[in-house]
Structure 1
Amino acid sequence: MLRKIIFIFITTIILGITGYFTFLYYATYSEGVRSGELIKFSHKGMVFKTWEGEISQGISGAQIFSFSIMDSDKEVISNLKDMEGQYVKVTYVERYKTFPWWGDTKYFITNVKKDVSPFKLK
């Protein structure tokens, strides 16, 4: 009887933890597009190396959008390296939480393309 209770208890805990991490892995809170000047892009971390960046969305960096990029998005990483200092439009997904090996933020870039700055004079 005691073994059965312990087995059910441990199985419930394992299923709960598995369900929690599965939810965090697949669920997204929102998706969207932002644009601005790509002012920072780096590969950082001591234990887990992650790709992080920042976009300035206002004049003189008044509003900063910080984001992360998954290691598996090689094309996005390559494009961001080439576009540093330029005006870009990024597509992102926002997650409820993140894992330390994914990145520092809840915002993950899925696509990036060069855009025309609204601040440039014609």
Structure 2
Amino acid sequence: MADYTNPDRKSPFKKFLIIGLLFVGLIISGMVWYNYFYVFGEGVKSGTLNYAVYKGNLFKTYEGKIIQEGFGGNKTTGNLTSYEFEFSMENEAIFKQMESNSGKYFELHYKEYHNTLPWRGNTVYIVDKINAIK
């Protein structure tokens, strides 16, 4: 006969509930990590710096934009079009270097994430280093 008065014995429902909550917590943690901290892609973009700003209401972040020149996908041949690359900057040192070289041609290394975080910037592209300034 089972002894239901033993306080050390856990009910099967409580075990199932604890294991289920741990599993759900693990799944949610994995989804948060994948959406906000997993580096989806890395690459290099180059172009002329259009602007570099420090802005934000609650979280101040470093933002910028470069204009890339190239041949567009328009139906007319030989059309020169411009592409804008908006990005956020990882730290103040990168921002200061861009701010003091406004209008110059930059080669930027960036990381791409799936989603943004308010303290990381307004875009999914985070510039972590400047490869070259021309």
TM-score normalised to the size of structure 2? 0.71
Instruction: Give yes or no for the alignment of 1:83 onto 2:101.
Output: yes
Encode CA deviations 1:48-85: one digit per residue, 9 max, x unaligned.
Answer: 22111100113898311000112xx3321221221222
| Aligned pair partner of 1:62 in 64, 77, 82 | 82
Seq. identity, %: 30
Q: Which runs of 4+ in 1 moved over 2 A?
A: 20-27, 58-62
Query: Aligned AA for 1:81?
Result: E
Higher helix share: 1
Give, in angstroms, the shift of residue 111 of structure 1.
1.2
| Aligned pair partner of 2:133 in 114, 117, 121 | 114
Query: Aligned AA for 1:17?
Result: I
Residue in 1 aligned with 2:34? Answer: 23
TM-score normalised to the size of structure 1? 0.77
Cα RMSD, aligned residues only: 2.2
Instruction: Give yes or no for the alignment of 1:97 onto 2:115.
Output: yes
Any residues of structure 2 matched to 1:20-59 within 5 Å, and which? 20-24=31-35, 26-58=37-69
- Take 1:47 and 1:26, find their aligned partners in 2: how far apart are those partners? 21
Encode CA deviations 1:16-58: one digit per residue, 9 max, x unaligned.
Answer: 1222233345522222111111111111221222111100113
User: Structure 2: which 5+ residue stretches go unaligned?
Assistant: 1-11, 71-79
Change (3 A) 1:61 1:79: farther
Matched positions, count: 113
User: Structure 1: which 5+ residue stretches go unaligned?
Assistant: 116-122
Encode CA deviations 1:1-23: one digit per residue, 9 max, x unaligned.
Answer: 22222212221122112222333
Q: Which has the larger radius of gyration?
A: 2
Higher strand share: 2
